[in-house]
Amino acid sequence: MSKIEAARRQIESAIWLWFVDDDMVSVHTLAAAAHRTMRELAALWDASAWPSTAGYIPPQEPNLQRVRSDDAVTYFNDAKDDE
């Protein structure tokens, strides 16, 4: 299975879970994992991961934008921070 196919399946699963109003943590982590895969592939191909929406997002410091988007992913994925 290719990385693009895996990302597509993650997005499809996240969308299905969203519309059946199921587990929102799973929706977020699936979508975030797919986004990370596409962002990494886009960097390898020297392309934008989301060319159709890039014009609508206000420019920010690249590292700050990435940190903000990864905060929730880190929270849900890192077991070492469990209470």
Q: Provide the 3-class DSSP secondary structure of residue 20.
A: coil
pLDDT at 16 > cutoff 90: yes
Question: Is pTM beyond 0.85 here?
Answer: no
Can you read off the two tokens belonging to residue 74? 């880190």
Q: How many CA atoms lie within 13 A of 52 on its CB side?
A: 0
CA distance 41 to 66: 16
Judge contact between 57 and 17, C-beta under 8 A.
no
Count CB-CB contacts under 10 A for residue 64. 9
User: How confident is the model over 45-80, as pLDDT tens digits?
Assistant: 877 655 555 555 566 666 555 555 556 666 666 655
